[in-house]
């Protein structure tokens, strides 16, 4: 699967567009270790994932916490 084939949700923090990027390292030993890894970064606020496999990076980025709204202001 090509990088552009993955569907990425908007940034969970700012709603910005997400882009998948290949990991790049100057150190050859580290570069070899992470050769097949990608990171996902918001183009607006620049928050990003750690380098992972494409599948794991997409799963991590697209995971959203369940938010439960509780109205604490109500009188009982």
The reply to whether 76 falls in a domain is: no
In total, how many domains does the chain have? 1
Residue 44 pLDDT: 97
Residue 70 pLDDT: 66
The reply to whether 28 falls in a domain is: yes
If one compares 65 and 72, the residue with the highest pLDDT of the two is 65
CB under 8 Å to 25, separation ≥6 — which residues?
31, 34
Please determine, for residue 26, whether its predicted confidence score (pLDDT) is greater than 60.
yes
Own/partner contacts of 27-31, CB < 8 Å, gap of 24 or more, are none
Please determine, for residue 63, whether its predicted confidence score (pLDDT) is greater than 90.
yes
Residue 59 pLDDT: 94
Residue 33 pLDDT: 82
Q: Which domain holds residue 31?
A: 3-62
């Amino acid at each position: 699967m090509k990088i552009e084939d993955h569907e990425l949700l908007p940034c969970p923090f700012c709603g910005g567009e997400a882009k998948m990027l290949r990991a790049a390292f100057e150190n050859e030993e580290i570069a070899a270790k992470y050769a097949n890894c990608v990171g996902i970064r918001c183009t607006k606020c620049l928050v990003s994932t750690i380098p992972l496999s494409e599948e794991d990076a997409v799963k991590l980025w697209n995971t959203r916490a369940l938010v439960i709204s509780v109205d604490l202001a109500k009188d009982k």
